Structure 1
Amino acid sequence: MRTTPKPLILILALLVFSAYSLADESTIEWSPSFEKAKVLSKVRSSKLAELSGLVASHKNEGLYWAHNDSGNDPSIYLLDPSTGEVKLEVELKNTKNKDFEDIAIQQIQGKTYILIADIGDNRAVRSELFIYRILEPKFETNSLMQLAPERMTLSYQEGPRDTETLMADGKNVYLLSKREDNNLLYRFEFKGNSSLTAESIGKIAIKNITAGDIRNGEIALRTYPQIYFWPVSDLSVEERLLTTPPQLLDTSPEPQGEAIAFTQEGDLISISEKPFFVSQLINFYKRTKSSKHE
């Protein structure tokens, strides 16, 4: 039986993902804030073959929390992007991974929390979604840890829809839907052991948003082929997302790019799910010196 060459498989995959509709990029400027991507390493653990969420750790310098999406263990992993190795696995007790799609960090009253969003819904049929929260642990020597998370149950006033983007800014938690021409933005505060029917606060004209992150007021969103960036300004997070055009990064091709995170220094790291038989690269977008934002 004839098999398709691996390079051709990758090319076909890139063509499929690049065909996804995006906002009208003719009116969007290229960002002067980031250099072209460089490859830091590649993910060397099979535990993150379906990596879908990424965020910089606050208690473990230089390391990042990551997770897989549906069909995998209800765990998050502490990843070293310089080597691609997993340092720690944290199992979320009494939890199922229906479809973990993104992860974020909150700092509230001197405490650091990790939020994990079980919000994926490809067929738009889920009546309940879940946001989990744990206090961020410190890695020492153990390679495995178990923690019991708080849980918030969520639904949308507009009805079920696929969502893959979770971001946090102080107490505010943001979700962005994925598949509409104009995706819905939701904002709320996490409250453990509670239920919420969230109502959208506006729409953003970017399709197929797969991940996002906020750091010191700056915002990054990604789709399969493209990374978008909003610099810090006097406007709120929601005002910028809803009313101001983003900048475009010179984005390296990732067949299924579903994870984006700011570093603690303000650079960006992006990782794809493992694409077919190709290495799972860790792409690093260094901040230009003139645009460093502390």
Structure 2
Amino acid sequence: MKSNALLKPRSLFLGLFSVGYLFLSACQATSEATVPRWSEPVFAGIPDAGKLSELSGLTRSNHAEGVYWAINDGNNPAEIIAIDANAQTLGTFSAVGLRNIDWEDIASYTLSGKHYLAIADSGDNGGVRDELYIHIFEEPADAKRSGQIHPIKSIRFLWPDGARDAESLFASAKDRSFYLISKKRVPAELFALPFDAADGTKAVLVATLEGIAQPDAETMNNKGDYGRYRAQITAADLHPDNRTIAVLNYQEINFFTMPKKSNTVLKPASTLTLPWLPQAEGIAFSRDGKQLYVGSEQAPTPVIRYDIVQP
């Protein structure tokens, strides 16, 4: 989602980042020993604004540790961009035959020994789109090669009960399904769509995500766009262990346990409060699951990283 109201001068951001961002509202872990603790956020790097001017999705490579795939928001070129762990560009791949209507998130997964990328063209700020798409590609083995990338297929899907905005996507090879989370609805809704879904399939509601902190009336009234949007879901990723979902909004990361059945009510197992980071819209676990990266749609803004701290 684009919003000029959140744009800050780079110098101000870097000053705040270097002096004050390394405070963290500590991970509000539950009493369960299995819930990991995360470090304070650290600076990873600043993406090339010429390549990632509106980073709206981020995911890990399953070919190589330390490589990540990113996309820009809608009305930008239909490209998948490889970056390293310091947010530096490695390669750019043009998606043949596709248009970036409103690309919002990218996911990676491995199935039958092959690695894949999936892009959710599911943004709908106005709630008017009657068709959304998930574009599926085989992940390039060489992230530095650049060139063209051809989609294996595109799944045209529908919502079960009318239009809604969704800016998050993750994939579970275990369930052979894609998962999307509604952005503006409270509580947020988790939908599933099978990998082999037929054209025109309706996504299925599998869970609601309750317990995500919502802005109070003062914040809503006095913080402009940030106040209105700060609790809306902008990205998600599934931990490599297939058990934990990291769900991002502008103010925090909420961790949920992957549902085992449909019609489930999920509540956060733990929460991380973000430092000041305008329009946080990309989140990705590392391939080993020990690191978590967060990127912003406002350029130039750093990518930050959290590291697992063992109990």
Question: Is TM-score (shorter-chain normalized) higher than 0.5?
Answer: yes
Structure 1 match to 2:58: 54
Shift of 1:244: 3.5
Once the two structures are superposed, residues 85-125 of structure 1 have per-residue CA deviations (whole angstroms, 9 ceiling, x without a partner) of 21111111111100000111121111111110000000000
Shift of 1:7: 8.1
Shift of 1:60: 2.7
Number of residue-to-residue matches in the alignment: 264
**Contact 2:62–2:109 (Cα < 8 Å) also in 1:** no
Structure 2 match to 1:283: 304
Distance 1:210 1:5 in 2: 19
For the pair 1:138 / 2:159, whether they are aligned, the reply is no
For the pair 1:242 / 2:265, whether they are aligned, the reply is yes
Structure 2 match to 1:220: 246
**Contact 1:103–1:117 (Cα < 8 Å) also in 2:** yes
Structure 2 match to 1:79: 83
> Share of identical aligned residues, percent?
30
For the pair 1:208 / 2:232, whether they are aligned, the reply is yes
Specify every segment of 5 or more residues in structure 2 that has no aligned partner in the other structure, as ranges: 1-6, 14-24, 213-230
Taking a change above 3 Å as real, the CA distance of residues 286 and 166 of structure 1, as seen in their structure-2 partners, is: same
SS in 2 for 1:249: strand
Pairwise CA RMSD: 2.6
Distance 2:281 2:130 in 1: 24
Once the two structures are superposed, residues 6-64 of structure 1 have per-residue CA deviations (whole angstroms, 9 ceiling, x without a partner) of 48987xxxxxxxxxxxxxx9xx6477610110001111241111000000101132110
Shift of 1:220: 0.4
**Pick aligned residue for 2:96 from 93, 96, 99:** 93
Taking a change above 3 Å as real, the CA distance of residues 141 and 177 of structure 1, as seen in their structure-2 partners, is: closer
Structure 1 match to 2:218: none
**Contact 1:128–1:154 (Cα < 8 Å) also in 2:** yes
**Contact 1:77–1:89 (Cα < 8 Å) also in 2:** yes
SS in 2 for 1:48: coil
**Contact 1:45–1:85 (Cα < 8 Å) also in 2:** no
Task: Give structure 1 regions of 4+ aligned residues with deviation exceeding 6 angstroms.
Answer: 7-10
Taking a change above 3 Å as real, the CA distance of residues 81 and 5 of structure 1, as seen in their structure-2 partners, is: closer
Taking a change above 3 Å as real, the CA distance of residues 81 and 274 of structure 1, as seen in their structure-2 partners, is: farther
Specify every segment of 5 or more residues in structure 1 that has no aligned partner in the other structure, as ranges: 11-24
**Contact 2:133–2:154 (Cα < 8 Å) also in 1:** yes
Distance 2:267 2:54 in 1: 33
**Partner letter of residue 286 of structure 2?**
T
Shift of 1:144: 2.3
Structure 1 match to 2:17: none
**Contact 2:96–2:148 (Cα < 8 Å) also in 1:** no
For the pair 1:35 / 2:39, whether they are aligned, the reply is yes
Structure 2 match to 1:273: 297
**Contact 1:81–1:282 (Cα < 8 Å) also in 2:** no
Shift of 1:193: 6.4
For the pair 1:189 / 2:232, whether they are aligned, the reply is no
Structure 1 match to 2:283: 260
Distance 1:47 1:130 in 2: 23
SS in 2 for 1:59: coil
Taking a change above 3 Å as real, the CA distance of residues 134 and 193 of structure 1, as seen in their structure-2 partners, is: farther
**Partner letter of residue 214 of structure 1?**
L
Normalization by structure 2: what TM-score? 0.77
**Pick aligned residue for 1:106 from 106, 109, 115:** 109
Distance 2:126 2:232 in 1: 14
